[in-house]
Every structure is written in structure tokens, then in C-alpha cells.
Homo-oligomer: A and B are copies of this chain.
Amino acid sequence: MNIVIVGLGNIGGSFALSLKENADEHTVYAIDVDESTLQHAEREGIIHQGFTEPEEILPHADLIIFAVYPLILKTLVEKYIPLLKENVILTDVTGVKRSIIGQIEPLLPESADFVFGHPMAGRENRGLKYASGEVFKGANYLFTLTDSNKDSNIELLTSLVKRMGFKNVSSVTPEFHDDVIGFTSQLAHVIALSLINSDDVQRNTKQYTGDSYRDLTRITNINENLWPELFIMNKDYLLDHIDRFKSQMDLLKDAIETEDVDTMKEMMIEARRRYHDLHNLELPDSE
């Protein structure tokens, strides 16, 4: 199969590296605006060949993986449509789905099957130099299906990403995806940003931090050109999750204010139960 990765940054590069390592019967090409990135990737054997323009390679692509910002995706798909091979499979990696699918679906020709996807793996740093096939190992992958997706193509992609090391590969509706991602990823980013920005910078806090603070703020090395649009495209679900989080926080705050130890203990026991479930651990009988 000829696979074309569009956008050879952190995620696109990680796809290329992982495909090379785990599925090397495929030939992997890349399209990127940055010629030196492509040359580097060719020299390192990460891709077979790189292109700054799509005309030459796209008509030969059996699978196209768009690893680009959501705002660029529609423009690229529009530009690429005249060049697509019959029965091509397309997929993406964007973190919100309803809005993206709504933009892209109406553009697609009958014979092209766009299976929208979301690999849930690290992307704190930008650029090919941070790419690594390792980050996909054990990670979760979500495909958000539409009525036009062919079962055989969903199966092909599921089996491919499993070989790349993804563990839980789920097919869900775009609505479910945006709801759950609004919680596990977007709310987490809203919290981390709010935490680090509520620090008193006069204090030189870093001398007094433990692992907790570093863990909770790791994702604040955030890409400000990507995340505002992700938040906006999913704002209904995200605002809902923020409100639910704030309600929980207010319950705990009240318990602290009134020195209500029993309620705090209950909340902590419930949290520990959820922690153990999240990590598939047995809850110890007593400690």
C-alpha cells in the first residue's frame, strides 16, 4: 500500500517512524511545506520520498493520513480532491470531530472514504525532531464513524494502528468523541492552564514544587496556534465539563471550609476507587 502522510511534524513523523518499524511492507511518502524536513526524513530513512506539492504523489496514494492543524484540513482536502485515486482511504488526527466532519464530508467524492480518527498520544512538542513511534505504544485510538465509512476500511485502519502499538482502538460517534475528549483532554488543559497562571510569579515557586505540581502543569507547554480553535469547536461539551468540574471543586471547598472530615474522606475514597479502576489495579482491602 502507498501511504502518504500530509504534515511531517510531531504526529506525522511519529506515524512514519512507527509504520517503518511495525508495518514496513507499506511504502510511506510525505507531503510537507518544509523542504529541509523532508530531506532530513529521507536521509534518515523515515520516509521513502518527500514532496512539497501533492500533484506527483497523491494519485498513487492508497491511504492518506492528514497530520495537520484542523483549520488547514478543509483547505487541503479541497485542493487534493481532484488528485485522489479511486477508492482511496483518508484519515486525520484532529482532536475534535463534529465540526471537522461537518466541514469535510460534503466535499468528498463518492469513491473516497474518509475515516476520521484521533490517536490519543503525546504531542507537547512541535516538529519532526520530537517524533517517536514509542509514544503510540499502549495508547488509545478513537475512530469516529460516519454512515459512508466502509467496514473493510475501518478494519484495515484498526488493524494498522494496532500493529503500530495502539491498545484500545474504539469506534464511536463524533458526538461521543467530542464529549469524552472534552473531558479527558480539553478540560485537563483548561485546568492545567488555570493552575499555572494562578501562580504568584514573585514567589519563585519552582524551588518549592513537588511532583504534583509538575504533573498537573506538564501539558501547559501548549501550542497557542492550535488549542483555541479546538476549544471553540467543542465549546458546548467543554463548557459543560468545566461546570461539572467546578461543582465538584465547590463541594470539596465547602467540606474544607466547614472542616467536614467525613465528606472529605468519602470524596477521597471515591477518588482512589476511580484511580484504581483507571489503571486497572486491584483496590487493596485495607491499608
Contacts and interface: CB of A to CB of B under 8 A. Distances in A.
Contact of A195 (B188, B206, B211, B213): B188
B193 A205 contact: no
A44 B239 CA distance: 53
Contacts of A225: 265
A150 interface: no
A111 to B, nearest CB: 31
Given A208-B120, A228-B261, A228-B265, A184 B196 contact: no
Contact of A216 (B207, B216, B280): B216
A274 B216 contact: no
Contacts of A217: 274-275, 278
Interface of A is mostly: helix
B188 A222 contact: no
Contact of A257 (B168, B239, B249): B239
A188 B213 CA distance: 6
A287 B142 CA distance: 28
Contact of A265 (B189, B191, B224): B224
Interface stretch (A58-66, A84-92, A121-129, A153-161): A121-129
B209 A140 contact: yes
A277 interface: yes
Nearest to A265: B224
A197 B206 CA distance: 28
A261 B274 contact: no
Given A238-B256, A244-B198, A272 B224 contact: yes
A215 interface: yes
Contacts of A121: 210-211
Contact of A170 (B208, B248, B271, B276): B208
Nearest to A266: B224
A201 B275 CA distance: 12
A56 interface: no
Given A192-B216, A194-B248, 9 more contacts: A120-B210, A127-B287, A140-B209, A142-B208, A181-B208, A197-B270, A198-B245, A217-B278, A221-B275
11 contacts: A120-B208, A140-B207, A183-B213, A197-B248, A214-B279, A220-B274, A223-B268, A224-B265, A228-B265, A228-B268, A238-B256
